Amino acid sequence: MQPGLYVVATPIGNLADITLRALETLRAAGLIVAEDTRWTRKLCDHHGLHAPLVSCHKFNEAARVDLILDKIRNGTAVALVTDAGTPAISDPGARLVAAARTAGVYVTALPGPCAVAMAISLCGFGGAGFLFEGFLPRGSNARKSRLAELAGCDRPVVIYESPYRLLKLLAEMDAALRDRTLYLGRELTKQFEESLVGTPAELIAKFNGRAVKGELVLVISPLTRAERRHREDEAEEQDDGDPEGDDGGGEAGSEPSGPAAG
């Protein structure tokens, strides 16, 4: 196999969800670069793969770049994988890919499982592009501010979240999105896969009192024209202020515009 960097998509849950090309590449690779070697070792053992593993995660990616590029320059085909899905989307790998391109070595990708694509295909909101947001900011104020911006998006918005923060996020979505429909996918491709659709309040009711487990992906339905007109009317009413008129009113209270999606 040609020396270079091979970005390989791996299962997001079900170990059988891997392409024939991915298996061929992982068998032929001289080195597999993995986000977590313990998890990738399970995948390798399941499929009888024996290439050596080296870790490359968000805490050591910068330090690994030179080592990996040296391996490629010396004739090694290196496969880059993440714990689940396609590398360099919401996981480490982008820095390594950029460095490999800058170094002029061969770089290619093998498409396959991706939680973003699966969520869009299951939610029923797609068809005209979408915005992938990934994980929202950890700080409460920053997260609420971002949700207020995303509320104006006219395309579906895909968000990842930890099960430990789900109820808190849904409460914030209830305040920011009101009765907007959400899709929630939990444990996709696994035995206890769950796909739910409802407003933030309806999803809160479904998860209250439950121990939330597993990987989560949410999709916010796009703002419809009617909803946008309603929001604009509300903003205009707030801008009107005192019916007698107040020359010092300015332009306070305008609605944040939605992000450019797609």
Q: Summarize pLDDT for 153-184 with one digit per residue, the tens.
A: 999 999 999 999 999 999 999 999 989 999 99
Residue 207 sits in the same domain as residue 174:
yes
Do both 85 and 155 map to the same domain?
no
Same domain, 129 and 80: no
Measured between alpha carbons, how far is 168 from 74 in angstroms, rounded to an integer? Answer: 50
What is residue 260's predicted lDDT score, i.e. its pLDDT?
A: 36
**Does residue 233 belong to any structural domain of this protein?**
no
Amino acid at 218: L
- Name the region of 138 (left: φ>0; alpha: ψ -120 to 50; beta: rest): alpha
Residue at a domain's end among 112, 144, 166: 112
pLDDT, position 255:
38
Dihedral angle over CA of 11, 15, 20, 24, nearest 10: 90
User: Could you tell me the residue range of the domain that residue 130 belongs to?
Assistant: 116-225
The structural domain count of the chain equals: 2
- Residue written as token pair 């703002």: 223
> Is there a single domain that holds both residue 97 and residue 127?
no
Q: Which pLDDT value is given to residue 237?
A: 73
Same domain, 106 and 150: no
C-alpha distances (whole Å) from 198 to each of 135, 174, 240 are: 20, 11, 34
Q: What are phi and psi of 204, to 5 degrees?
A: -60, -45
| Intervals of the chain under pLDDT 50 | 245, 247-262
What is the phi/psi pair of residue 33, to 5°? -95, 120
Instruction: Find, among 59, 74, 68, the residue nearest to 33 by Cα.
Output: 68
Domain presence at residue 206: yes
pLDDT for res 20: 98
What's 155's domain CATH number?
3.30.950.10
Full-model pTM: 0.84
